[in-house]
Amino acid sequence: MRYLPQTQSARGQMLEKIGVSSVEDLYKDVPRGEMGHTFNLPGHQGELEVERALNAYANQNHAAPDGPFFLGAGTYYHHIPASVDYIIQRSEFLTAYTPYQPEIAQGTLQAIFEFQTFIAQLTGQDIANASMYDGATATAEAAMMARRVTKRRKIVAATALHPDYAAVLETYVGEVIYHDIEEAAAEEEPACIIIQSPNFTGQPENYEDWRAVCDKTGALLIVVVNEIVSLGLLPAPSMADIVCGEAQSIGLPMSFGGPHLGFFACKEQYLRQMPGRLCGMTEDADGKRGFVLTLSTREQHIRRDKATSNICTNQGLCALAFTVHMSLLGEEGFKRLACLNHERACALVDALSALKEVKIRNDAYFNEFVIELPRPASEIVEKLAAKGIIAGYPLGTDSTCRQLLVTATEMTTDEDITALTTALKEVLA
């Protein structure tokens, strides 16, 4: 059903006002050969028929709960309590957009403030913001902030940065130089060095070694975390200048890749160069606690081209879901969740190590690691998918790539691990 808000009379008045006699006249400058194309699409249908067609497509999906699932690579399958969805729908949190009017948005503002507090505590940083779109764009924003702080242009990143993050980073800043730690130490005047921990292969990085390289070169150290649950077990990157990444693992479903929830934290000395919204706590005229958006002079509606932030959404619903889930977990619950993830990964490593055809490539890991197979990884993944098992992420699609990135979370059962190892034996026989 089409919705045309203008009447024929109104459309005629609009055309007369701009000086043309018909809608077709608006396209007179388009070459004739480019008009009137037909597309290989079915004709329009009624609502009932469209629903049936879309449901048929949806039923072809293999969702994570439908069977053994070992895919991670930046988006992770975690349990979300039912109470999260219930709480985020309460009217106290409803907002159409960024809560610029504190007198009518205290619930939303307090949730943003609590989100920032959680992120600052998890990352070991002085301050955190709210409103990053996702981990990849948060990484790019961190690189641009490093340029503003250092007045340098060169961006250096560790070789094991998530490839999707690297692609977004290059789109934002242009050339990025990828190095291991020895090569990075030889670079002259970089604005920043970006490392991911655990990195894309699941290996935790040594913050102290990279900090020493940054101190030598005068670069800012940016630590990227795309599995935020790891911060419940691994040391906080407190020695970094900027910590950013992805918080989807807490409170948010995978949802076919989005929406996700970026986070961003840094040292207090860099506060005024930080992108995104920043919520502060204050007192009102009656001495009561209140929350407001602060340092808004950084934003595009005031400083225009000189703004440090051109972000146009506060990601409020996603940040709220994270905050509610974290509040339900508490500090001990979050640590226990991290331990469960690592325990499940250890169980998976033990089971895969028992297969003589499989080699574990990591010497350390959190809940994700790389295995090497005797045949192309993409081929193995396809054969296991036919058995209802989502085995992981192939680190390449050609016949020479035999490495597979596999993930275990608290959702991975002993039965899932047995199903994977049994199927691997069959397809590798």
212 vs 104, which has greater pLDDT?
Answer: 212
What is the pLDDT at residue 342? 98
Rounded Cα distance between 2 and 110, Å, is 41
What is the pLDDT at residue 1? 47
Please answer whether residues 407 and 73 qualify as being in contact, where contact means their C-beta atoms are separated by less than 8 angstroms. yes
Write out pLDDT tens, residues 387-419: 999 999 999 878 889 999 999 999 999 999 999
- CATH of 82-326 among 3.30.40.10, 3.40.640.10, 1.10.10.60, 3.90.650.10: 3.40.640.10
Residue 314 backbone class (left: φ over 0; alpha: ψ -120 to 50; beta: rest): alpha
Amino acid present at 363: D
Domain spans of the chain? 64-79+330-428, 82-326
Write out pLDDT tens, residues 333-365: 999 999 999 999 999 999 999 999 999 999 999
Half-sphere exposure of 168 (CA within 13 A, CB side): 17
Write out pLDDT tens, residues 223-248: 999 999 999 999 999 999 999 999 99
Which tokens in the block code for residue 238? 């407190």
From the list 211, 262, 224, 242, the residue with the least C-alpha distance to 149 is 242
What is the pLDDT at residue 100? 75
In the CATH scheme, what architecture does the domain 64-79+330-428 have?
A: Alpha-Beta Complex (3.90)
Rounded Cα distance between 382 and 40, Å, is 30
What is the pLDDT at residue 315? 81
